[in-house]
Structure 1
Amino acid sequence: MLKQAARGVVSMVLCLEDSIDDAEVVDGEANLVRQFADLDARGVEVPLLFIRVRTPEQIPDLVRRLGPSGRLLSGFVLPKFTDERGVPFLEAIVTAEAAGGRRLFAMPVLESPELLHLETRTEALTGIARTVDKYRDRVLALRLGVTDFCSAYGLRRSPDMTAYDVRIVTSVIADVVNVLGRSDGTGFTITGPVWEYFRSQERMFKPQLRRSPFLEGRAEELRTTLIEHDLDGLLREIELDRANGLMGKTCIHPSHVLPVHALSVVSHEEFSDAQDILRPERGGGGVLRSAYTNKMNEVKPHRAWAERTLLRAEVFGVAKEDIGFVELLAAGLTD
């Protein structure tokens, strides 16, 4: 945890669910309690820490066992979340919060077969929307469990493909964003699916990184490194996540953190467009040419995008003019 915090990781999930064997839960809980006590004794800054539990009963029990070191806990990740299964988890957080005397947050994971299967999807999404809206002040984000979606059909995407190349997954993502990711004040932040590769495998298809953005300086070497670590697919998936209404990504390997952060930085062009669209004098709408003179900015239709872009800028920052993701990646690797 401390090592990843030093690398810029700002939140971490300590998993007691799918990442450990069923027979290891008791030992896993005990280990987690020990590590929290150790961190608390060190008095150091830590990332936002979340525990992914298996059952609602674990939540108040763990908060009790953590004792004073529970001050380091930000909340819980709730697996297999549906309307029916989700309420007991959220109520357990409310109970634990009252007992522990500090605020706790929730990140439900949308990964159940009810969401995937066409005949139950609408009802499942409607129920989830109703539930998370009731507990809106505690739900930080909704997470997509694409690995579980694929599992329901015995599928697994290769490092040559993104989640959006698996059509049955794409349809679920679209419907989740449709119902739960609206920009009218009813929506939530929905995070991108896990990228599960971090070492090169034998390739069937060409790399997905164009050569031209990497031609200057040591960037060609950077391109080779990214391809060798199967990160070209990750970069493409991050871009597709954002294009489809998702923000953020769960990283399962340290090598993923830098690309996710670099591609989350708001470009100077995006920032310029967002500021122009949101100028007070533009409140009545209209169309204007972008400052980069390469696109149309239509004030009313683009307002929600501009607001989200400025929020992203607050978190990830804004790149200087003429600085792109290649320079950000290269600088991060140099540091």
Structure 2
Amino acid sequence: MDALELGATLYVPGTRTDLFDIVAGRRHPGLRSAVICLEDSIRPADVPLALTNLASLLQRLGEEPATVPVFIRPRDERMLGHMLGFPGIEAIQGFVVPKATAESLPPYLRALASDTHLLMPTLETREAFDPAELGRVREQLLAIKERVLCIRIGGNDLLHTIGARRSAIRTAYEGPLGGTIAALVTAFAPFGFALSAPVFEHFDSPDLLLEEVERDIEHGLLTKTAIHPCQIDVIQSAYRVGASELAEAREILGNDRGVFALNGSMCEPATHGRWAESVVKRASIYGVRPEVVAAAG
């Protein structure tokens, strides 16, 4: 599985009673991936209920496979070890590692040492602001790089560490997270890791969400956490590629010149090739957006 296929990853509290309908694609058409959360989205008192729901879901998936890739977010490594013993756990694609740091990752990795599930570590603690700590995390993840589907950016938790909440009228890039998102991209993307953009919590502002997703794309973040079903189409529609953008990407990939001009811009396959490959892949998954032609006169 490629991280680009995740699209808008819907986070679903494990206490919900319709988990199977969600992962079977019955509740939200177009959903491409889901995380069943047993961490911050549920109260400690509700953990037993969530675990019971999860066990029932896994049993059901043994009879009827999910159509949506399913990931589980445990509360800690002990809960992860407990889950790995559930019958049917092989039916899910992987686990989200919450609050991943250089100190917290090793116990998770030991628990999963003989396992083949994919991992999505989440950077959401104060260590994410420390370049040296990020370097330590990166070295640990490079050792298991083939299992790391993507690295998730936990925007709300990062804001919590500084006692802030994101604005309802500006994108994350205009607030205190802007520089942090860029720093996380530059810390991990050059080493071949995909990253997921943080959640947009104000689900009644689709225009602002679209603006933020466009900024995500500029940063190379091509999958995003969703906390409400109404966000799914907004996010995934933004991943569609413009026809002219796709034509330019194909020209870059198919041209044997060192540098050439196209549509008023310099195109250099040696430096634009990775971008072009991403555009072509996005088009194959999400489709091509129709070009808007201005009326004459």
Deviations 1:89-118 (A, max 9, x none): 1221223x2xxxxx31000000111123xx
Distance 1:40 1:8 in 2: 23
Q: Which residue of 1 aligns with 2:93?
A: 74
Distance 2:137 2:283 in 1: 29
CA displacement at 1:157 relative to structure 2: 1.5
Q: Which residue of 2 aligns with 1:128?
A: 137
Deviations 1:48-99 (A, max 9, x none): 111101211222321212x1x223211100011111211211221223x2xx
Q: Which residue of 1 aligns with 2:14?
A: none
Q: Which has the higher helix share?
A: 1
Deviations 1:92-151 (A, max 9, x none): 1223x2xxxxx31000000111123xxxx1111101110110010110000000101111
Of all paired residues, the percent bearing the same amino acid is 31
Distance 1:323 1:131 in 2: 46
CA displacement at 1:23 relative to structure 2: 2.1
Contact kept in structure 1, 2:259 and 2:266, CA below 8 Å: no
Contact kept in structure 1, 2:199 and 2:225, CA below 8 Å: yes
- Structure 1 residue matching 2:198: 3-state secondary structure: coil
Distance 1:89 1:58 in 2: 10
> Larger Rg: 1 or 2?
1
- Structure 2 residue matching 1:82: 3-state secondary structure: coil
CA displacement at 1:3 relative to structure 2: 4.3
Distance 1:123 1:245 in 2: 23
- Indicate yes or no: 2:177 matched with 1:177: no
Cα distance, 1:30–1:150 mapped onto 2, change above 3 Å = same
Q: Which residue of 1 aligns with 2:6?
A: none
| Aligned residue identity for 1:91 | R
Distance 1:257 1:48 in 2: 15
Question: What is the aligned counterpart of 2:193 among 184, 188, 194?
Answer: 188
Distance 2:45 2:264 in 1: 58
Aligned residue runs from structure 1 range 147-186, under 5 A = 147-166=156-175, 168-182=176-190, 186=191
- Indicate yes or no: 2:279 matched with 1:278: no
- Indicate yes or no: 2:278 matched with 1:305: no
Greater RCO (CA < 8 Å, at least 6 residues apart): 2
CA displacement at 1:294 relative to structure 2: 4.6
Q: Which has the higher strand share?
A: 2
Point out where structure 1 has 5 or more consecutive residues left out of the alignment. 98-102, 199-228, 325-335
Deviations 1:178-209 (A, max 9, x none): 11011xxx2211111101122xxxxxxxxxxx
Q: Which residue of 2 aligns with 1:316?
A: 286
- Indicate yes or no: 2:75 matched with 1:54: yes
Distance 1:127 1:169 in 2: 21
- Indicate yes or no: 2:8 matched with 1:33: no
Cα distance, 1:18–1:85 mapped onto 2, change above 3 Å = same
- The alignment's TM-score, normalised by the length of structure 2, stands at 0.86
Distance 1:92 1:266 in 2: 40
